[in-house]
Structure 1
């Protein structure tokens, strides 16, 4: 049976200055330590989200489960007493998340009985990992952003008669493969300003389409968003196009070994990146 996975980037954004008496630590190390804590997050009384079932197939590859326990009252029939009764019961739906610590790359297996969208699950991953001691001690901001499918966006940029404006977002430092041209320097700037995120917009009579495409790919790969104002023909109107809001999707056979499954995630990610 094939399972549908959605591609996300998980980011552990450290403050410009780490708290006193704590040693320097990388985002990958924070990710590793937070997972190993298997934290829980209590939304309210009777509803708790948990991380568990942690498995490593190599130093950087693995999977974990994210799920919730909900206390409910269930009506049952007692065959021995011949009576109906109400009993307390725990419901614990969960799903699996593949991960590559070295890239901060995760794939969330969709599951309607847990949440209607992978975005809702990603928010709970963020909230739950934020409860770990390592994240709290280092005052880290955890972000889990979907990797948007850039194919249609890039194709429209390629075919455009002219690109007149381009806008992209960025966050503080995290992705180890952020491009040198755009995401990396701006993310450092964002961090120094103690900002959570930012955006940059450039405009002109005719922007360099090739450079715009490169920056758009890097923006998508780092889980950020972009838009452009283009003319599709010489005498056409100027219109706005945006990176698709839906994350990159892939299907993986349920029996696939963890390391092979993560390699499939990396392959789909590489298509976005390059």
Structure 2
């Protein structure tokens, strides 16, 4: 196989617990890896989607392809008539996917033959995972793009004052959320029977270091963060949101037949996530 250079978009995979008296006997990580390894077939609007080419990289990480069945026009020779005839042949446009099941980190390559961006593919992957028996009965599946946080963080740090800050939170899932604030909130939301919540704080001049740490935690979880900032001492306030930024991407060159290339590519993706989470 030849070396390919592809652009990946980063997504956060979250499995939210159902309200059930009988929780799953396996972990989220195990359920995700089982689903990917099952070659589950998804039928969506008369199109077949399926996983293939699974490579286990380490205890948490895998590489696989995800494709949609389609048809392409071909010209075939018919020896019975001695003529060339128009026909259709099966074709499977695919994307490359790296997955860290412990973090819930997914990197999906772009392929214009499937969609302009990776969100459509991510939605079909989410549907496939949600249809898998070991997941369907115990968790709701959420797969959302991770925004590039740097533009949002830069505006926070350069502002004369942060007047207001808010972030969304969901039912428990990520292993690396903020332990002091976000984790207790998610547990409270679960116990209260809620699905999503939002926290907002307001002050004359909020501490930018404290706000940045919480913003990074929320953005890495693919949840929206918002702020009201005063850019200059005598200026007015403006509203900013993490959704104003483009999705986080990484361009990687690798040979799918080379295990060391796959392992290195997964480490690049993990490092990109770590930079989002901690700066």
TM-score by length of 2: 0.89
Structure 2 gap segments, 5+ residues each: none
Aligned pairs for 1:170-181 (under 5 A) are 170-181=169-180
2:39 corresponds to: 38
Deviation above 6 Å: which 4+ runs of structure 1? none
Q: What is the CA deviation profile of residues 173-228 of structure 1, one whole-angstrom value per residue up to 9, with x for unaligned ones?
A: 11111111332122222222333322222222222222111110111111111110
Report Cα offsets for 1:84-116 as digits up to 9, x if no partner: 545443221111100111211111111111211
Aligned position for 1:268: 272
- SS for the counterpart of 2:10 is strand
Which of 1, 4, 19 lines up with 1:16 in the alignment? Answer: 19
SS at match of 1:130: helix
Residue ranges of structure 1 left out of the alignment (5+ in a row): none
Q: Give the deviation of 1:65 after TM superposition.
A: 1.1
Deviation sequence 1:56-92 (CA, Å, 0-9, x none): 021112111111113x474635353234545443221
Residue 65 in structure 1 maps to residue 65 in structure 2 = yes
Give me the whole-angstrom Cα distance separating, in 2, the residues matched to 1:3 and 1:73.
23
1:73 to 1:163, Cα distance in 2 relative to 1, 3 A: closer
Deviations 1:118-160 (A, max 9, x none): 111111110111111111232x111112121111111111111
Q: CA 1:99–1:160 in structure 2 vs 1: closer, same or farther (change >3 Å)?
A: same
Deviates more, 1:144-153 or 1:32-41: 32-41
Q: Does 1:212 align with 2:215?
A: no
Count of matched residue pairs: 269
Residues 102 and 206 (structure 1), Cα distance of their counterparts in 2 relative to 1, 3 Å cut: same
